[in-house]
Structure 1
Amino acid sequence: MLYIDSMWEYIVNFLELALFLIFIHTKLHIRANYKHQAVWMFLFVSIQFAVLCTLNKMGISSYVTLISSCVLDIVYAILFYRDNLILRIFWGFSYSIICLVAEQITFFIPVTLYKGASLELLSGGELRKPYTMLYLAMIAIFVLLFHYIGNKDISLSSFQKVAYICIAISGLAIGHYILRLTLESVDKFDDSSFSARLSLINLFFIVLFLALMQYIYLLGYSKEENIRLLEEQKIYELERTEFNSLSETAERLRKMKHDMQIYVDAINVLAKDKKWDELIAYTEQYHNTLTTTQSAIATGNIAIDCILTAKLYYAEKHGIKTEYYIMAPENFPLDSVELSSILGNIWNNSIEAGERLIISNPTEHPYIYFYIKPYQNMILIHIENNYDGVIKCSIDGDILSVKQGKEHGLGIRRVKELVEKADGVLQIISDNKIFSVHIMIPDKENDKLL
């Protein structure tokens, strides 16, 4: 009988851990695959299961077991998931709170209905198996309910994070302490009515505690939403600046086209009148004018023409060597605003990297290599440049920016959003101080014509 009771406790621990894995996997995003990731996750879960079983077997204080379980849950979330830190801590704590609520609700039922039932709920008691089955069922219900609560990023300051952790630990400890007092009151005073009321008070406390945790979560979400709106405003301002530059370049191109028409008409008149000396002098004057005029790209796509005309001129003016190849389709799969944003952001990053390289290492010669060309049913956009080797990455190794400061990464994030919107693929590579961005956009319009 003792062997069966021990095996039952192992099964309960295993199912409780399995429900935790289901819960945490639905609320957080697992890290990108790294070497032997599945093996490390399995080893950690096995160690966690062994620790909990050992603590229960040795009869260690329930406080120690509760805190150990909570800490292991949080460590697991931190190690194997990629969401921001406070969100991983939040959901790690949340499962411990769910277990405490489920335990309190499950305990409230037999204490209310059966006098002196508390001893029967312990390991080896007659009510232990149905009690633990009900306990696991309650956890499963809460996990299912939380599954339908939308995942939202939250943002808290360092002080708020510390305060949240302290509140969470205090709430868990107080709730568990009241539960222990309830058990002791049944055994010492044999008053099930008093124990039921005490259990009900504890249940209300835990519900209020859950409401407080939810309130903190909503505050963090509101702050994160405000940060997101500020970033969108900054992106809008950057794109507005790019649009103004685009408009200015388009106006210059229009004036150049107008002036060129006048020059051609003048040359035509001089040629018809056979004024060869005047024609030669005029063409030489026109040639000298062209050498001081910004060269223009003419592909037929206004966004490509304006962005490249402006960026090539700026790059060469600041000592950055450029090389480019453009073969754009007549019907580009992106509209002018989206294409301008993508080209403007990747060119700005490359130019800024070149300027920093000149400052940090004057002996280096910055360059930018760029092309747009069709490939099968895709449009390829590629830009490559050398840089000073300083780069910012996320915790998953994703490249955020080669810039410094608080606003780093906005341009790359915007490019990623637009590429994903077009069902495209974005690949960013940094190797041996060479930074490259490779974009593949499905050429849906031209594909329909084939």
Structure 2
Amino acid sequence: MKLFTSILLTNLALTASFVPKALTKNAFVLRAGIDGGGLNLVDKETSTLDSVNVGPDPIKPRTSGKTVLVSGLLQSKDRTDQTTFDFLKDNPLFSFEKIIAFCEDISFAKKRLTSRSARYSGLLDMLEFREGTNGVPTVEDLKDVDSHVAYGISEDTAGQIAENAAKAGVKNLVALMEAPASSAAVESVLSSLSSASPVSYTLLTVPSIADGSEGKPYRVNSVTSDVGGTIPRDEALRIMTECLALDCASSNSYSVVAADTDEVAVEYLKDLRSKGYTRSQEIEKMLEGGIETFEVAVKEKEDEAAMKAKKEEEFKKGAGARSLSREEEIKQLLAKGKQEYKEMMEKKVKEEASDILRREWREKYFARNTSSPEEEYVAENMERGMKEAIRMIKMLKGEKLDDDEQEEHWMDREEREAREQEEKNPEPTEDPEPAPPAATKVEGGDGEGV
């Protein structure tokens, strides 16, 4: 057991070492659909879509009961109409024990629904067939029904369907109206359904229905909006059955239209599906006006971008004038700085010159070499003092002196002048005594020379 634990920990450490730095450095939020589908990675910086779609929220289900009746289908020889019944059976938000197929001919309906897939999926175990005329269930047909799905409702049948549902105690009524002739017809149907209290109704209007699978782009509008064009049959049936499962659709009416060329709808639905939204969550989001919220967010972002671009353009336009004025300002500042520096140096030179001359005066005064007053001496020699001060300042700064500035210090100059004066006027001296004659040596003799 210890060996197994050690191996497991080693594998976990190795796995962690191969995690991309981007996933460990940045903060990510992980979200998945309530049925386990999908993964949403939302980085710190969210897009407009991420700001309105941060992940699927739990669905608020509608109380649909144990029994549902479907009317208006099973009339065409070209299709089976099994799709609606499969949606009602497979949706995890439903808990139906019985699905009733209301039709005008039971034998015909059974041929449409008693397929191999219905047998294997368990749909046949839940199916029950009831027969009626004009596609309108009677109060007797609805007595044990909790929810009624009325496909292909019209202005002529809406009143009777709503009245019978209210009398039979049906809790939910979802009606689909295909290609309404006018907004007045829609308002008439809506009035009939809303008067069937306490039935919780939902009215869907759709354009002409054409054979096609679900998953196509669509948009949900107000019920009185124009419903031109076509919509895939499976998409219309899916939205119709989902309205029975969603609490937000209770006592509401909508118009659903195809949106193949609607870039906003395409982008929005693509984002929902990429983030793991189930069809129930997606349709709930659409019914609650999610796409309108997204459009508002997009508009705000576009306005913000336009405002930013406008400010940048204004800044660029004013940058030229500002740069010119800035150059002039810099020139003025430089000129002002030079003038202030010049005045400061002149003041400093005068102060240094005054100090030099005052020291000279004190030395000469105490040496009894001058009788001039101090201020008079300074004023008379200021030009020479300023030259000396400039020379000293340059020497302190380490600057090279000009030839005319290689001037001697006054003390050095006085010493040099004194030496020159002595050389010109030497003092008289006494003649030196003559040196005694040198002794000479006589060669060739025995004695010494004198």
TM-score by length of 1: 0.21
| Bigger CA radius of gyration | 2
Higher RCO (CA 8 Å, separation ≥ 6 residues): 2
More helix by share: 1
TM-score by length of 2: 0.21
